[in-house]
Amino acid sequence: MSRASDRAYEGIRGMIISGELPAGAPLGEEALADSCGVSRTPVREALRRLEAEMLVRRTESQRSFVADWSLDEIEDVFELRAMLEGHAARRAAERMDQATLGKLRESNERIGTAISGQEPDIDAFLEGNRIFHSLILDIASSPRLTSLLGSLIEQPVVWRTAHHYGREELRRSHREHDELLAAFARRDGGWADSIMTGHIRRAFHAYADAHRGLSSIDRTRQRAKA
């Protein structure tokens, strides 16, 4: 792939992940080329890569849109994450060292700080959460797991889920990280696996609740426009 294609890919992917390009948004090649500072050919290449990652969908008329997944598809993603990240947590616990445990604690402390203010800092929470889970994958030492999870962990649903968390849901996520730290400190792989699996399943239900609420709002807005 060319540098221009990589730049277009990173730019478009970043806009999708952040929610700047929301689900269902049309992806015009000319506008994206201007936004990314490239020609239309690298944009086409980038869109093909993003389509393979299920972040973009192409219609029969060859028009591209940000993927808008059904709740069943989202649940499938979370189920895969629960299985894979549960296994990663088990491996991580069995290989845990004091240096990594210290980094995980520091990361979770930053998450705690992000959610403790009068208004939770969701962007800081997301960044801390990304680092925390990345550290677990690093010490799990499985390139195959890392590759499989790479296309699941950074899906827009993760961003959307966190942005619809209430304060108690943010605190619960933080507490579950504390429980993982306790399992890691004892190198108890089975305990770490069960906590991580529950952590991801709970995140799905938070997303599902938000999805249903957003769907209801969307239908109300559509009726108002009619």
The domain locations on the chain are 3-66, 71-221
User: Burial, 65: exposed, middle or buried (Cβ in 10 Å; 0-12, 13-18, 19+)?
Assistant: middle
User: Burial, 47: exposed, middle or buried (Cβ in 10 Å; 0-12, 13-18, 19+)?
Assistant: buried
Please provide the average confidence, as pLDDT, over all residues in the chain.
Answer: 87
CATH number of 71-221: 1.20.120.530
pLDDT at 213: 65
pLDDT at 224: 47
Portion of the chain with pLDDT greater than 90, in percent: 58
Assess whether pLDDT exceeds 70 at residue 218.
no
Render pLDDT for 9-52 as a digit per residue (tens, 0 to 9). 999 988 887 778 888 899 999 999 999 999 999 999 999 989 88
- What is the pLDDT confidence band of residue 226, given thresholds at 50, 70 and 90? very low
Task: Please provide the DSSP assignment of 107-164 as one string.
Answer: HHHHHHHHHSSSS--HHHHHHHHHHHHHHHHHHHT-HHHHHHHHHHHTSHHHHHHHTT
Cα 134 to Cα 147: distance, rounded to the nearest angstrom: 12
Cβ atoms of 29 and 46 closer than 8 Å: no
Q: Which of the residue ranges 1-5, 105-109, 138-142, 166-170 would you say has the lowest mean pLDDT?
A: 1-5
pLDDT at 209: 81
Assess whether pLDDT exceeds 50 at residue 202.
yes
Cα 40 to Cα 205: distance, rounded to the nearest angstrom: 39
In this prediction, residues 205-214 reach a mean pLDDT of 75
Q: Which of the 8 DSSP states describes residue 56?
A: E
pLDDT at 34: 94
Render pLDDT for 88-145 as a digit per residue (tens, 0 to 9). 999 999 999 999 999 999 999 999 999 998 899 988 998 999 899 999 999 999 999 9
Produce one character per residue of 94-130: b if its CB has 16 or more CB atoms within 10 Å, e if not. bbbeeebbeebbebbebbbebbeeeebebeebbebbe
Domain pair 3-66 / 71-221, same fold = no
Cα 9 to Cα 48: distance, rounded to the nearest angstrom: 9
Q: Which of the residue ranges 35-44, 145-154, 172-181, 217-226 would you say has the lowest mean pLDDT?
A: 217-226
Architecture of domain 3-66: Orthogonal Bundle (1.10)
Residues 6+ apart with CB under 8 A from 42: 2, 4, 5, 7, 8, 33, 36
